[in-house]
Amino acid sequence: MVFELLSKEKNSSAKCGLLYTDHGVIETPIFMPVGTVGSVKGIYHRDLREDIKAQIILGNTYHLYLRPGLDIINKAGGLHKFISWNRPILTDSGGFQVFSLTQNRKLTEEGCLFRSHIDGSKHLFTPENNVETQRMIGSDIVMALDECTPGDADYNYALKSLKLTQRWLERGIKHFKETEPLYGYRQFYFPIIQGCVYPDLRKMAAEHALSFDMDGYAIGGLAVGEPTEKMYQVLELLDPIMPLNKPRYLMGVGTPCNLLEAIARGVDMFDCVMPTRNGRNGMLFTENGVMNMRNRKWADDFSPIDPNGTSFVDKVYTKAYLRHLFVAGEMLAAQIASEHNVAFYLNLVKQAREHIKAGDFTQWKNKMVKRLENRL
């Protein structure tokens, strides 16, 4: 993978660059809409490309492995062809999903034994077969199998968990280097830096991961219950350790404010279900704050959903109409809100890139953070 650094702000660690893959060039900082099972919930791929202008989407190894299964994806020629998406795809290893199914999994040196949430059947992910699975899926960016440590884990558990993740990483990298992509284009492998909220463990994890000189690096195990300030402290700790010529991916984060604060601390890539999940529940993000579209105050507000929004839904539909759809339980409400929110996130990182290039990112970010937290 080639990552080209274009610009870095003097007053922070914010930077913008270009990440080259065989399915296209990605401008960073970037937000990646989450398409867990091969779809970003409620949004047509046409709209992702043309309206929202998503440059890369996420798929999830755990979910795709269980359904539709690797045989179907392989017969289709890989996930890109199966879902009719010709831009880059990143797949999570499924470690977080296994973490969230605490009652149904067992970690051993060999790997992670878990039960399907669909039918209860038993499965085993090892570092090696997890690489094979992501080879079969055909994502452009492959994530290492790791244990996602709970945010409130004590030191001894976090250390034990990190050591296991490191041994799995060594096996995963070895297998990745010994195997080839299946569909004729390059795949890239990102280690995941764990270590919970403990500075020495995070530093240990980063130095170990960096020693392999891989294509990029993910920061995992944040946004899993720890206070937001702890997350920012971890990013500040890692920032001087991480290389500028490799992309940094903060997994599962976050709110619009989280994105801007993390960009200021050197992060290049983000994913989160928040824009679609919150959208389905009536919450809209705007540059002036958050709107709850179920509130009665919008019942006779016939102004556009978001005059400053970049999606077609923002200008075509009114707040009153969208509120009506939510109150009536109409499917279209979730679609409109999801499309607005994902477009908002993509436009937010686009603005961040522009301000980094202009050299005034920090000044802009500080103003935006105050506005984004408003309740409208």
Sort strands 15-21 and 24-28 into parallel, antiparallel or unpaired.
antiparallel
Catalytic residue, from 51, 92, 268, 314: name it.
Answer: 92
Catalytic residue, from 51, 140, 268, 271: name it.
Answer: 271
Q: What are phi and psi of 285, to 5 degrees?
A: -95, 135
Residues 129 and 77 sit within 8 Å (Cβ to Cβ): no
Is 47 noted as a catalytic residue in this protein? no
Is 360 noted as a catalytic residue in this protein? no
Strand partners, 289: 286
Alpha helix (H) residue ranges in 143-266: 155-178, 199-210, 228-238, 256-264
Query: What's the CA gap between 252 and 369, in Å, rounded?
Result: 19
Catalytic residue numbers read 92, 271
